Each structure stands twice: as C-alpha cells, then as structure tokens.
Amino acid sequence: MKTAYRANAILLSAVLAFAIPAGAKEIVLPQEQVQWRPSSLPGYQKVVQECTICHSAHYAEYQPTSTTRNYWETQVKRMKTVFNAPIPDDDIPLITEYLTRTYSVDRSKAAGQ
C-alpha cells in the first residue's frame, strides 16, 4: 500500500512540475466588425443583452432577406430551448419584433418606428 501511495505521489509531483511552468495562455479575439442594427424598439436592448452572450450580429445579418416573423420567432425559441440561452419568456416577443422589423422581409417598416 505504501508503494502505491509513493508511486502516486511521484506521478502527481511530475505532472505538477510540468504543468506549473506552462502558465496560462492569453487568447485575443479580433474586434467585432458587425454590430446589431440600432433601434428604438425595446427588443434591440434585449438582443444586445441576451443574444450577444453567445453570438454576434453576424448571425442575423447573414440570414436570407426573405425571412418572416415565424422564422425569427422559431429561431429565438430554438436558442432558448435547444441551446439553453438565458432568454426570459417575456422577452421572446420583443426580440422577435426587433429581428423581424430589422432583418426580415418586413424590414421595410423602419425599425424603431
């Protein structure tokens, strides 16, 4: 038993000896180039607060311009249920409205008007 304990202690010491000098690595991400389109709609602030946690505005910008309200509502609900996004149920209609009026076929209705 003492031999097994001693072997484990030596192994642990060796692992720590190699791990400590390595130190933490720094990761620098590039500056975000695409921003959410500003709007006076209440959903804009919700998107900035709740959606940017996981992804950038690229996601919305590169969706087909033929998207509809149903598409955006489905996507918001999917983010909540499939990816566990911390979106309160009360915010889903606000976010959907912002995305629909800003990025969908309905964007001709100026966002925030």
CATH of 42-108 among 1.10.760.10, 1.10.3470.10, 3.40.30.160, 3.30.1300.10: 1.10.760.10
Q: What is the pLDDT of residue 85?
A: 94
Q: How far is CA 107 from CA 8, 60, 69, in A?
A: 64, 12, 11
Q: What gap in Å lies between CA 83 and CA 67, rounded to an integer?
A: 21
Domain ranges of the chain: 42-108
> Tell me, what's the pLDDT at 106?
74
What pLDDT is stored for residue 89 in this prediction?
A: 97
| 10-residue mean pLDDT series, the chain (113 residues) | 68 65 76 89 96 90 92 96 96 97 76 46
pLDDT number for residue 112: 46
Give every CB contact of residue 16 below 8 A, 6+ residues apart in sequence.
none
